[in-house]
């Protein structure tokens, strides 16, 4: 068994003439927090879309736990323990906070299919188990007192945390987040950082695409820097922060690399 949970070789995604991801190779070690950073349009979200099976690559390979998953669809990768959140929030806004998390459990339901039609004992038991586990996840993200409110009524930062709880309901080994700190205030960012570290301590591997340099520099074990769809640099936070190529890429853009 490799010590890497994910190995990406020469990944490319072209949209017509746009080379959104252009020859990215990356190895993500198990039980670490891997950050992916880069200026706007660098190809970070496209990379996560390729890793999660939201998009398929133009060329290249993705191997997860030594298995080639390049052609597997999103739901198949979820079954293998890969989960993600999106840059743009995707919740069932009309459903309760709790039901949003319960929806995340559906892939692990232990119910014979006919019991969906004629609810019986197993269904009730399963629903009860899900509720308990969902409440645990809501507690983890600090939303237990909002469990019965409509998801759409939550503040923006809370909706992002709810998305995290819902993705965790699939019980991932590899959890990928696309700009989870966007729109969060300082207290919420700190809370999020603590949660990510706690997940790592529970043996999860995390890939986080993030603009918030405070978060990246404080939680990441390794940082992979992209620019114009290509590899620019990778290393530990201190190396990345002082690297002239990285600084130049950020200076050329409107973003800042300073903490
Ligand atoms: N579905 C798409 N169709 C066409 N172009 C896209 C699509 N998704 C992303 N792109 C382009 O690919 C490049 C990288 O985008 P993206 O991965 O969203 O960057 P980042 O997340 O680093 O800001 C951009 O030029 C963007 O316009
Ligand atoms: Mg993006």
Instruction: Parse the chain into domains and list their residue ranges.
Output: 16-81+172-259, 93-169
The pLDDT tens digits for 73-117 are 998 999 999 999 988 888 889 999 999 998 888 765 555 555 555
Q: What is the mean pLDDT of residues 231-255?
A: 86
Ligand 1 mutation pick, 13, 37, 41, 179, max ligand atoms within 8 A of CB: 41
pLDDT value, residue 110 = 54
- Rounded to whole angstroms, the Cα distance separating 19 from 30 reads 29
Mean pLDDT of the chain: 90
CA separation for the pair 119, 137 (Å, rounded): 25
In this prediction, residues 32-39 reach a mean pLDDT of 97
- H or E element that contains 18: strand 18-29
**Cα 142 to ligand 1 centre (Å):** 33
45-79 confidence digits (pLDDT tens):
999 999 999 999 999 999 999 999 999 999 899 99
Band of pLDDT at residue 122, cut at 50, 70 and 90: low
> 166 CB less than 6 Å from ligand 1?
no
Whether ligand 1 lies within 6 angstroms of the CB of 62 is answered as: no
Please report the DSSP string for 91-110 in residue order: --TTSBHHHHHHHHTGGG--
- The pLDDT value recorded for residue 121 is 62
**Euclidean distance between CA atoms 180 and 160, whole angstroms:** 7
Pairing of strands 205-209, 174-178: parallel
The continuous run of DSSP H or E covering 23 comes out as strand 18-29
d(CA 257, CA 169): 33
> From the CB of 85, is ligand 1 less than 6 Å away?
no
Question: In testing the pocket of ligand 1, which one of 12, 14, 17, 18 has its CB within 8 Å of the most ligand atoms?
Answer: 18
Nearest to 95 by CA among 40, 154, 14: 154
Cα separation of 7 and 132, whole Å? 35
What fold characterizes domain 16-81+172-259? Rossmann fold (3.40.50)
């Amino acid at each position: 068994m490799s010590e890497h949970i994910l190995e990406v070789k020469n990944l490319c995604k072209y949209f017509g003439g746009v080379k959104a991801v252009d020859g990215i190779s990356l190895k993500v070690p198990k039980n670490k927090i891997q950050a992916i950073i880069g200026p706007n349009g660098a190809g970070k979200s496209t990379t996560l879309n390729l890793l999660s099976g939201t998009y398929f690559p133009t060329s290249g390979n993705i191997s997860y736990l030594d298995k080639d998953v390049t052609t597997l669809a999103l739901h198949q990768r979820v079954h293998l323990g890969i989960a993600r959140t999106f840059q743009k929030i995707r919740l069932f806004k009309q459903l309760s906070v709790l039901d949003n998390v319960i929806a995340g459990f559906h892939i692990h339901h232990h119910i014979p299919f006919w019991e969906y039609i004629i609810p019986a004992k197993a269904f009730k038991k399963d629903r009860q188990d899900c509720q308990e586990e969902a409440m645990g996840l809501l507690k983890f993200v600090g939303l237990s007192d909002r469990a019965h409110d409509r998801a759409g009524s939550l503040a923006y930062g809370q909706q992002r945390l709810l998305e995290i709880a819902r993705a965790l309901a699939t019980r991932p080994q590899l959890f990928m987040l696309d700009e989870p700190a966007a729109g969060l205030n300082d207290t919420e960012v700190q809370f999020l950082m603590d949660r990510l570290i706690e997940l790592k301590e529970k043996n999860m591997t995390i890939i986080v695409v993030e603009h918030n340099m405070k978060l990246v520099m404080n939680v990441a074990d390794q940082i992979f820097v992209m620019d114009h769809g290509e590899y620019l640099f990778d290393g530990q936070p201190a190396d990345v922060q002082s690297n002239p190529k990285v600084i130049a890429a950020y200076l050329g853009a409107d973003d800042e690399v300073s903490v």
